[in-house]
């Protein structure tokens, strides 16, 4: 059976963030992930993890002004110093939380920046981040995100991510394969996971359409979970979906499909 991690930015949102750790543990999760830890004290987050017997699976690098609509700055040529400062901050948090990997959101291509410049900036930033994180024993992943939900997002397909990883040339860089985003952009979920398993550092899920629980849409999760097990993926699968109602009311998919 896959190892599922609760995404605390998406699940249990009816309660305060710090209380979601206990809620996740009570619901049976052994791991958690979330967008950003930076608004909270490192020691307090570490205490919540320890008190609830949870593993911190993943968080993101700082990604600009999220509330203003920014979704990463790694492809922004005028934000390189800010990006590098964010890498250092992410390392501090990941070490305090014993988090083994962090995700880099490429961001939306800024107005007036051509695709070649955005690409070059992203590659150079990833080289820096992968090297710094490797020194700290932390892996870096990059996530293709569908351009229906986030128009203009620079990194949107698995093949694009793999080509960038090859160009960066680091053994500390992998793909974060989000099943929902991949279904919207390209399909071929089972074949892609099989073919590129060695390049996949983390998997996330949601169904489509709607980005709700598995079993609510078109993706055959019963088959896909068995396939993921069969090909030998032994990492965590982050539950990054929008519950159709209360989180607890929709968790039956785990027993029904996994």
Active site residues per annotation: 143, 240
User: For residues 152 and 131, what is the distance between their CA atoms, to the nearest angstrom?
Assistant: 27
From the centroid of its chain, how far is CA 235?
13
Measure CA 194 to chain center.
19
Rg of the Cα atoms in the chain: 17
Distance in angstroms (rounded) separating the CA atoms of residues 105 and 71: 7
Q: Read off the DSSP letter of residue 247.
A: G
102, 116 in Cβ contact below 8 A? no
Helix or strand (DSSP H, E) at 42: helix 42-51
């Amino acid at each position: 059976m896959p190892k599922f991690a609760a995404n605390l930015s998406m699940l249990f949102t009816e309660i305060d963030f710090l209380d979601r750790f206990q809620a996740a543990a009570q619901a049976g999760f052994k791991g958690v992930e979330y967008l950003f830890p930076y608004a909270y004290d490192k020691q307090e987050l570490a205490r919540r993890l320890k008190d609830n017997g949870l593993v911190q699976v993943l968080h993101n690098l700082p990604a600009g002004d999220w509330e203003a609509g920014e979704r990463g700055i790694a492809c922004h040529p005028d934000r390189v110093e800010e990006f590098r400062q964010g890498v250092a901050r992410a390392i501090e948090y990941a070490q305090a939380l014993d988090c083994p990997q962090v995700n880099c959101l490429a961001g939306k291509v800024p107005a007036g920046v051509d695709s070649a410049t955005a690409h070059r900036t992203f590659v150079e930033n990833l080289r820096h981040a992968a090297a710094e994180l490797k020194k700290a024993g932390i892996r870096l992943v990059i996530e293709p995100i569908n351009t229906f939900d986030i128009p203009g997002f620079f990194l949107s397909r698995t093949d694009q991510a793999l080509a960038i990883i090859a160009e960066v040339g680091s053994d500390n860089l992998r793909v974060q394969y989000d099943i929902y985003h991949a279904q919207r952009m390209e399909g071929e979920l089972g074949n892609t996971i099989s073919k590129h398993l060695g390049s996949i550092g983390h998997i996330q899920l949601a169904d489509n359409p709607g980005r709700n629980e598995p079993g609510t849409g078109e993706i055959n999760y019963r088959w896909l979970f068995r396939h993921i097990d069969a090909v030998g993926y032994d990492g965590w699968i982050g539950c990054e979906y929008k519950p159709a109602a209360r989180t607890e009311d929709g968790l039956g998919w785990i027993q029904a499909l996994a």
